Amino acid sequence: MNIKEFYLNEYPTDELGIELNDNITFAGLVTELFGGDDVYKYIGVYDSLVRERLFSELANQLNKPYDYVYNLWLK
């Protein structure tokens, strides 16, 4: 399941979900975080709530606390 499918399934009433880039994945999001690239550009939505929700799911998939993912983004 890619990020857009996940997001639309989990947050069907959030209108920003349809604006997410179509082919992005959580594996790609990890790569963006480790590469220090622009996460907002990667996901295609410049909204902190969407980012937080995706970081939360990524942390869940990695079996890490949210702060782990958040701190990767801050570096």
Q: Name the residue among 27, 52, 58 with its Cα closest to residue 40.
A: 52
Could you give the CA distance from residue 26 to residue 15 in angstroms, rounded to a whole number?
20
CA dihedral 12, 15, 20, 23 (to 10 degrees): 40
| 14-54 tens-digit pLDDT | 999 999 999 999 999 999 999 988 999 999 999 999 999 99
Alpha-carbon distance of 69 to 17, in angstroms, equals: 21
At residue 63, the 3 state secondary structure works out as coil
Residue 63: per-residue pLDDT: 98
Which pTM value belongs to this model? 0.95
User: Which of helix, strand or coil describes residue 23?
Assistant: coil
